[in-house]
Amino acid sequence: MTKKLLSRVGVVAISGALAVALAACSSGGTSPSSTSSGPTKGGTITWLDTSGQFTATDPVGVYLGEEIAGFRRLVYRGLTALPISSNKNPKVVPDLATDTGTTKDGGKTWSYTLKSGMKWQDGTAITCADLQYGLSRSYDPSLVSPGGGVGTVYFGSGGYNLIDPADPSYDLSTKYVGPLTGTADAQKHFDAAASCSGNTITYHFQNAWPDFPYAAAALFTTDPYEKSFDKGTANLFTINSDGPYKLQGTTFDSQAGGTFVRNSNYSPSTDSTTVRGAYPDTVKISFVDSAETIAARLIANSGADSSAFSMANIPSDKYSEIASSMSSRVVTSTSPYTRFLMINSNTITDPNVRNAIIKATDQAGVIKANGGSKWGTPTSTIVAGAIPGFQPNPSTANNNPAGDPAAAKALLAKTSNPTPTIRFAFADTSTVIEQVAAVLQSGWEKAGFKVTLMPISKDAKPGYYAQVGADPKPIDVFYSGWAADWPSLFAVIPPILQSNPKGATFGVGFNYGFYSNSKVDALIKQATASTDTAEQQKLLNQADQVAEADGAYVPLANQSNYFIHGSKLGGFLPDVASSYYPDLGGMYVTK
């Protein structure tokens, strides 16, 4: 999902300008929905979502923003956390650790000491070795695929580069493959790079990472993992909790959902209600067939749905059913998400064809089909407008939002095939996305493309992201979206545009289009090595410009949020901590 560098000294706070933009909520979005009596304990909250969305519940396989947001409050604690807050500039706080981390060299090394008294759901104490083991699993490609691997983009040689300080030239990102199958020598180097002394872990990086505390809060990469619980790929849909709730049963159902009940070995005294209120007795994740079904149930507001919510936006074909009497249950807010189309650079190798797709795309039609301004506004880049250092991408900033078939035809005329076929994939979860696909098809066909639509069912196995992230794949263009995990260009440009490792069969980070450009890689590397914020932003914007001039992706929109929830649900707040999804940490059932 998210972010990087704002300052090179100590722990950085989220930029005020960013937070002001992200916190622009209305219709109840400026503070949690509540009653005069305040939060109350007890009852059941239902989280509604569409089936097939989650590709894993194992922390190294989780990467969807809504999953990170929800599970961070329910079952997975991090070294640090961001609080539940409508504050425009929330500061990171300690979670498992006693403080937000210490660094004596501007961010090249970070040390954290665990609080005492924290346990796994089986009653075993959480140790420094669990922190070390949790990170080590992120290096195992069999565990992070599909969908994970975002963390190793930052920890690898193309990012801040976790290193053995005694042998900094040893490349863990290519030589270490995790604790299950890695060699003893590689394990020794990893253990030195993320070293334990008692209950204190120290991370060693080649490049300074001043806002590492925010990354630790936002990603699951540095979360602990109990070695005795590890069954490798068999754990894809299991959960070993150190949070206030635990999964009822042994396996989360990717098509139906799961029920979470209180974890008797969770110690509230080691946590804070500003991070996890843990008010309901039970949280049910319930998967249904479509966003339309979710909206219909929340609009009806009957039975258990009166204390339900969803992280899905109200689809545009339900806008007419939102009555004025529902105003206290409807929330709009800015979103850190951008929506775009990824182009498979391994099947569409000619930049002229890629750029013709971009020129022919009816961006305005896509936004209208999705719901107009309630859904989003046009953009020229993959970077959300609220991210510090944001710049419109000059390669596409002046494109016609309605598409330009003539310009696209002119580019195709330069190729060996002026009427190429493109296969467009999308997750078939609603009638709205089908309308969007029809808009895209119409625009591309006006330019001479032959278009094959490839809807991927919500019940498909493997799921949507597992299919579009793989290589090779019989897909040329596919629907995508991204939000920075923390507010920085570093949490957008490298995960999406940095080349995948040679021989990769699944996209690392979110480079599912397998885009590769040595000039882009060099600019990202220069930015990571720089110690000047302005210079970093300049280099990353240049990387985005070079990539887009080469036809790396099709920009669509800066997305907005438009939510509805049940009338007996209190504490509903989309906030910075949850990437402007509703923050489950403060929700409760009203009396």
Q: Tens digits of per-residue pLDDT, 533-580?
A: 899 999 999 999 999 999 999 999 999 999 999 999 999 999 999 989
Query: Would you say residue 471 has pLDDT above 90?
Result: yes
With cut-offs at 50, 70 and 90, classify the pLDDT of residue 489. very high
Q: Is residue 530 part of a domain?
A: yes
3 state DSSP class of 144: helix
| Confidence (pLDDT) at 149 | 61
Domain that residue 403 falls in = 336-560
| Confidence (pLDDT) at 64 | 85
Q: Could you please report the per-residue DSSP string of 544-568?
A: HHHHHHTT-EEEEEEEEEEEE--TT
Mean pLDDT across 81-99? 94
Query: Would you say residue 333 has pLDDT above 50?
Result: yes
What domain count does the chain have?
1
Query: Would you say residue 277 has pLDDT above 60?
Result: yes
With cut-offs at 50, 70 and 90, classify the pLDDT of residue 4. very low
Rg for the chain, CA atoms, rounded:
23
Beta bridge partners of 339: 481, 557
Helix/strand/coil (H/E/C) assignment for every residue in 150-167: HHHHHHCCCCCCECECCE
With cut-offs at 50, 70 and 90, classify the pLDDT of residue 292. very high
Query: Would you say residue 28 has pLDDT above 70?
Result: no
| Confidence (pLDDT) at 180 | 95
Kind and range of the H or E element at 213? helix 212-218
| Confidence (pLDDT) at 156 | 85
| Confidence (pLDDT) at 22 | 31
Mean pLDDT across 25-53? 72
The gap from C-alpha 418 to its chain's centroid, in whole angstroms, comes to: 37
CATH code where residue 443 lies: 3.10.105.10
One-letter amino acid of 366: V
Measuring CA to CA, which residue among 245, 258, 132, 153 is closest to residue 198? 132
| Confidence (pLDDT) at 207 | 93
| Confidence (pLDDT) at 584 | 98
566 within 8 A of 298, measured Cβ to Cβ: yes
One-letter amino acid of 269: S
Residue-wise pLDDT for 373-412, tens only, equals 999 999 999 999 888 899 999 999 999 999 999 999 999 9
| Confidence (pLDDT) at 150 | 64
Measuring CA to CA, which residue among 1, 341, 344, 346 is closest to residue 153? 1
With cut-offs at 50, 70 and 90, classify the pLDDT of residue 485. confident
Work out the percent of the chain whose per-residue pLDDT is above 90: 79
Kind and range of the H or E element at 261? strand 257-262
Q: Is residue 77 part of a domain?
A: no
Inter-helix orientation angle 431-446/363-370, to 10°:
160
Query: Would you say residue 520 has pLDDT above 90?
Result: yes
Q: Is residue 67 part of a domain?
A: no
Query: Would you say residue 452 has pLDDT above 60?
Result: yes
Query: Would you say residue 32 has pLDDT above 70?
Result: no
Q: How many whole angstroms separate alpha carbon 24 and alpha carbon 33? A: 16
Mean pLDDT across 34-45? 82
Query: Would you say residue 588 has pLDDT above 90?
Result: yes
With cut-offs at 50, 70 and 90, classify the pLDDT of residue 461. confident
Residue-wise pLDDT for 129-155, tens only, equals 999 999 999 999 888 855 456 667 889
Q: Is residue 541 part of a domain?
A: yes
The mean pLDDT value of the chain amounts to 91
Q: Is residue 65 part of a domain?
A: no
Q: How many whole angstroms separate alpha carbon 17 and alpha carbon 144? A: 34
Residue-wise pLDDT for 216-248, tens only, equals 999 999 999 999 999 999 999 999 999 999 999
Q: Calculate the CA dihedral of residues 406, 409, 411, 413 and round it to 10 degrees.
A: -140
With cut-offs at 50, 70 and 90, classify the pLDDT of residue 24. very low
With cut-offs at 50, 70 and 90, classify the pLDDT of residue 208. very high
| Confidence (pLDDT) at 39 | 96
Question: Which position has the higher pLDDT, 158 or 266?
Answer: 266
Work out the percent of the chain whose per-residue pLDDT is above 70: 93
Kindly report the backbone phi and psi dihedral angles of residue 282, in degrees, each rounded to the nearest multiple of 5, phi listed first.
Answer: -140, 140
Q: Is residue 375 part of a domain?
A: yes
Query: Would you say residue 1 has pLDDT above 80?
Result: no
| Confidence (pLDDT) at 216 | 95
How do 588-589 and 569-570 pair as beta strands? antiparallel
With cut-offs at 50, 70 and 90, classify the pLDDT of residue 53. confident
Query: Would you say residue 443 has pLDDT above 90?
Result: yes
Least reliable range by pLDDT among 2-11, 252-261, 267-276, 329-338:
2-11
Q: Is residue 28 part of a domain?
A: no
Least reliable range by pLDDT among 100-109, 189-198, 330-339, 483-492:
483-492
Q: Is residue 315 part of a domain?
A: no
Length of the chain: 591
With cut-offs at 50, 70 and 90, classify the pLDDT of residue 487. confident
Query: Would you say residue 212 has pLDDT above 60?
Result: yes
